[in-house]
Structure 1
Amino acid sequence: MKITTTCAVTTSGDSFLRRAATRQEFWLLLFGLSLFSMVALIGVRLLADADTLWHIAAGNWILANHAVPTTDPFSFSFRGQKWIPHEWLAEVVLAISYAWLGWSGPVLVTALATSLALVVLLAFLLRYIEPLHAFTGTVLAYLTLIQHLLARPHTLAWPLIVIWIAGIVLARERGKHPSLWLVAVMLAWANMHASFLLGIVLGVALALEAVLTAGNPVRTAKAWAPFLALTVTAGLMTPNGIDGVLFPFHVAGMSYTLSIIREWQPPVIGLLQPIVVWLGVVLFGALYFGFRLPATRIAMFFGLVYLALSAARYAELVGLLAPLLLMPAVGPQLRAAIRPEVKARLSLRCLQIITLLATVLFLASAIFLGKGIQRDRDLTLPKDAVRAALAAGASGPVFNSYNFGGYLIFSGIAPVIDGRADLYGDKFVRRYMEAYSGKAEALQALLQEYKIRWAILEPTSPAVHVIRDLPGWRKVHEDAVAVAYVLHP
Structure 2
Amino acid sequence: MGLRFRTTLGRWIVPSLADLLLAALVLRPYLFPGGLEELLSDASVGMHIRTGDLIRSTGSLPHTDPFSFALPGKEWFAWEWLTELGLSFVHSYFGLAAIALLAVAMMAGTSALVLRSSLRRGESALLGLMLAMAGFQASMNHALARPHLITWLLLAVSIAIVERERRAAWRGFWLLIPLAALWANLHGGFAIQPVYLAVVCTGMGIEALWNRSNWRGVWRMVACGLLVGAATLVNPYGIRLHQHLIEFVSSPWAIQMIEEYHPPSPTLGEQYYWFLALGTMAAMAAASALWRRRVSDALVCMFFLISASKSARHIPLFVIAATPILASELRCLWDAVRSRTGKRGTAEHIHKLDLGMQPQFSRHSVWLAACFVLVLLFRTPLGLPSNFPTKRFPVDLVAANREILRSGRVFSTDAWGDFLIYTGYPGQHVFIDGLQDFFGPALAEDYLEMLSAGPRTEALFQQWKFDTALVPARQPLAQWLKGRSNWRVVAETPLAILAVKEK
Check whether TM > 0.5: yes
Relative distance call for 1:132 and 1:282 in structure 2 (3 A) is: farther
Relative distance call for 1:189 and 1:390 in structure 2 (3 A) is: closer
Letter in 1 for 2:417: G
**TM-score normalised by length of structure 1:** 0.84
Measured after TM superposition, the shift of residue 473 of structure 1 is: 1.6
Give yes or no for contact 1:211–1:217 (8 Å, CA) kept in 2.
Answer: no
Bigger shift: residues 382-391 or 302-311: 382-391
Relative distance call for 1:53 and 1:227 in structure 2 (3 A) is: same
Identify the residue that residue 439 of structure 1 maps to in structure 2: 454
Is residue 2:379 matched to residue 1:369?
Answer: yes
Cα deviation digits, residues 260-291 of structure 1 (max 9, x gap): 32212222137953243244256359769983
Letter in 1 for 2:496: A
Letter in 2 for 1:231: V
Identify the residue that residue 250 of structure 1 maps to in structure 2: 247
Relative distance call for 1:243 and 1:376 in structure 2 (3 A) is: closer
Letter in 1 for 2:72: R
Identify the residue that residue 17 of structure 2 maps to in structure 1: 27
Identify the residue that residue 187 of structure 2 maps to in structure 1: 193
| SS of aligned partner of 1:407 | helix
Higher helix proportion: 2
**TM-score normalised by length of structure 2:** 0.81
Matches within 5 A, 1:46-445: 46-127=39-120, 128-174=122-168, 179-214=173-208, 215=212, 219-220=216-217, 222-269=219-266, 272-281=269-278, 283=280, 291-293=288-290, 294-325=294-325, 327-328=327-328, 331-338=331-338, 339-342=347-350, 343-344=352-353, 365=375, 369-371=379-381, 372-375=384-387, 378-389=390-401, 395-410=407-422, 411-412=424-425, 413-440=428-455, 442-445=456-459
Identify the residue that residue 5 of structure 1 maps to in structure 2: none
Identify the residue that residue 463 of structure 2 maps to in structure 1: 449
Structure 2 unpaired stretches of 5+: 1-5, 339-346
| SS of aligned partner of 2:457 | helix
RMSD: 3.6
Bigger shift: residues 280-289 or 232-241: 280-289
CA distance in 2, matches of 1:118, 1:93: 22
Relative distance call for 1:232 and 1:121 in structure 2 (3 A) is: same
Measured after TM superposition, the shift of residue 427 of structure 1 is: 1.3
CA distance in 1, matches of 2:205, 2:468: 62
Letter in 2 for 1:144: A
Identical pairs, percent: 23
State the number of aligned residues. 465
Measured after TM superposition, the shift of residue 336 of structure 1 is: 4.6
Give yes or no for contact 1:190–1:235 (8 Å, CA) kept in 2.
Answer: yes
Identify the residue that residue 10 of structure 1 maps to in structure 2: none
Measured after TM superposition, the shift of residue 388 of structure 1 is: 5.0
CA distance in 2, matches of 1:336, 1:265: 39
Cα deviation digits, residues 353-372 of structure 1 (max 9, x gap): xx9x9999879955773544
Letter in 2 for 1:445: A
Cα deviation digits, residues 231-254 of structure 1 (max 9, x gap): 012211112211222333222233
Give yes or no for contact 1:114–1:156 (8 Å, CA) kept in 2.
Answer: no
Matches within 5 A, 1:470-489: 470-489=484-503
Bigger shift: residues 261-270 or 171-180: 171-180
Give yes or no for contact 1:307–1:314 (8 Å, CA) kept in 2.
Answer: yes
| SS of aligned partner of 1:475 | strand
Relative distance call for 1:397 and 1:148 in structure 2 (3 A) is: same
Cα deviation digits, residues 47-101 of structure 1 (max 9, x gap): 0112121111112122222222222111011233111222222222222221111
Relative distance call for 1:166 and 1:72 in structure 2 (3 A) is: same
Letter in 2 for 1:171: E
Structure 1 unpaired stretches of 5+: 1-15
Relative distance call for 1:477 and 1:402 in structure 2 (3 A) is: same
Letter in 2 for 1:240: Y
| SS of aligned partner of 1:291 | helix
Identify the residue that residue 344 of structure 2 maps to in structure 1: none
CA distance in 2, matches of 1:236, 1:44: 36
CA distance in 1, matches of 2:241, 2:405: 41
Would you identify which runs of 4 or more consecutive aligned residues in structure 1 move more than 6 Å?
A: 357-364
